[in-house]
Amino acid sequence: MSGKQLKIKVARQVGYCYGVKRALDMAGSAAESGRKPIYTLGPIIHNPQVVESLRSKGIAATDSLDTIGAGTVIIRSHGVPPSVIQEAQERDIIVIDATCPFVKKAQKRAAEMAAEGYFVVILGEKDHPEVLGIMGHAGGHALVIEQPEDLRLIPLRERKIGLVTQTTQSAEKLQAVAGALSTQVAELKVFNTICNATARRQTDALELTDNVDVMLVVGGKNSANTSRLAQMCREAGTPTHHIETAGEIQNDWFAPGNVVGVTTGASTSPDILRDVIDALEIVS
Ligand code: SF4
């Protein structure tokens, strides 16, 4: 792959976000403490290389507290329902809570509104761990919606609605849902719980799409914020490829002289980004 004379433009906001970096630092400190065994509840980030590296330091990923007899569990940045923390404490498992503060804010808002008698609507992906955690904090008096059309699922008797979002949602979608709800209910409370890191990354990527021929979005295929970035770039009309590693880059994606934009999800390591840029330079 060579001779295409590509020009590469990298978005300003790339690499780990604040919440992911914080969770990785907390895991690193736990590993150094010598306290064993240590687990993460689910992979700490959507990045197999990092998960493997933690395993070599004695931190294994598990899907359930049932597999932990004793020891320490790290709650990843997505957070968990309060019942999980409670269960861990009842089993004398030490909890290191690395829930991202932005996610904590969404959990807190959902809990407060549920306590005030609001029916909580969470704009997000139904099965995403972060959304399941927020749902748990709302105590069951809640519904997850993925798009404005899902608003019809809200029980008709609910007249007081509280809206929060998964941190990775777009401002446009929040606006559409809040607008539609405002005409349907007697009382509406809206908290914009989209995280700054996500919003900045989305704005940067969209700006970049205006000035490039092709976009590469680098990050886990199962990462919500990376998939959202790729979707937004596509919707902006720029040919976009969502890749996890440099090995997926194909020569025929680029015409000679193309300007290629590169952005990453919040759990993409600087090493993977470097590999992608190196591979593009070889194409050039
Ligand atoms: S994307 Fe935002 S909410 Fe999610 S972990 Fe990163 S900083 Fe926290």
Q: What is the pLDDT of residues 214-228, one digit of tens each?
A: 999 999 888 888 998
pTM of the model: 0.86
Domain hosting 131: range is: 102-194
258 compared with 2, residue with greater pLDDT: 258
Q: Provide DSSP, 221-274.
A: TT-HHHHHHHHHHHHTT--EEEESSGGG--GGG--TT-EEEEEE-TT--HHHHH
220 in the same domain as 188: no
Percent of the residues in the chain that have a pLDDT greater than 70, as a whole number: 99
Range in 150-159, 171-180, 236-245 with the lowest mean pLDDT: 150-159
Flag whether pLDDT at 191 surpasses 90.
Answer: yes
Average pLDDT over residues 27-54: 88
Residue 2 within a domain: no
Q: How far is the CA of 102 from the centre of ligand 1 (A)?
A: 6
Where is the domain boundary, 194, 228, 250? 194
Task: Pick the atom of ligand 1 nearest to 77's CA.
Answer: 5
Q: Which of 157, 256, 259, 264 is nearest to 211 (CA)?
A: 259
What pLDDT is attached to residue 284? Answer: 65
What pLDDT is attached to residue 16? Answer: 92
What pLDDT is attached to residue 220? Answer: 87
Flag whether pLDDT at 283 surpasses 80.
Answer: no
Tokens of 245: 């590693």
Q: Report how far residue 270's alpha carbon sits from residue 252's, in angstroms, rounded to the nearest whole number.
A: 25
Q: Which residues contact 65 (CB under 8 A, 6 or more apart)?
A: 41, 73, 84, 87, 88, 91, 93
Q: Report how far residue 38's alpha carbon sits from residue 44's, in angstroms, rounded to the nearest whole number.
A: 12
275 in the same domain as 208: yes
Task: Pick the atom of ligand 1 nearest to 195's CA.
Answer: 2
Q: Report how far residue 121's alpha carbon sits from residue 154's, in angstroms, rounded to the nearest whole number.
A: 8
Q: Report how far residue 229's alpha carbon sits from residue 11's, in angstroms, rounded to the nearest whole number.
A: 12
Say how many residues make up the chain. 284
Where is the domain boundary, 41, 71, 99? 99
Q: How far is the CA of 123 from the centre of ligand 1 (A)?
A: 16
Task: Pick the atom of ligand 1 nearest to 168's CA.
Answer: 1
Flag whether pLDDT at 46 surpasses 80.
Answer: no
Percent of the residues in the chain that have a pLDDT greater than 90, as a whole number: 76
Sheet arrangement for strand 7-10: 7-10, 259-264, 214-218, 240-243
Q: Structural domain tally of the chain?
A: 3
Flag whether pLDDT at 28 surpasses 60.
Answer: yes
Q: How far is the CA of 225 from the centre of ligand 1 (A)?
A: 9
Average pLDDT over residues 50-54: 87
Which of 130, 158, 207, 281 is catalytic? The answer is 130
Q: Report how far residue 79's alpha carbon sits from residue 102's, in angstroms, rounded to the nearest whole number.
A: 10
What pLDDT is attached to residue 223? Answer: 84
Give the strand pairing for 59-62 and 94-97. unpaired
What pLDDT is attached to residue 2? Answer: 58
Q: Report how far residue 117's alpha carbon sits from residue 124's, in angstroms, rounded to the nearest whole number.
A: 21
Cis peptide bond upstream of 37, omega within 30 = yes
233 in the same domain as 190: no
Residue 1 within a domain: no
187 in the same domain as 108: yes
109 in the same domain as 178: yes
Q: Whose CA is nearest to atom 7 of ligand 1?
A: 19
The backbone region for 142, taken as left when phi is positive above 0, alpha when psi lies in -120 to 50, beta otherwise, is: beta
Residue 142 within a domain: yes
Residue 230 within a domain: yes
189 in the same domain as 106: yes
Flag whether pLDDT at 261 surpasses 90.
Answer: yes
Average pLDDT over residues 58-67: 92
Mean pLDDT of the chain, nearest integer: 92
Can you give the CATH number for the domain in which 113 is found?
Answer: 3.40.1010.20
Q: Using a 6 Å cutoff on CB, does residue 18 contact ligand 1?
A: yes
| R_g of the chain computed on alpha carbons | 21
Distances (CA, A) of 25 to 54, 94, 155, 223, 242: 11, 17, 43, 20, 27
Annotated catalytic residue 207: no
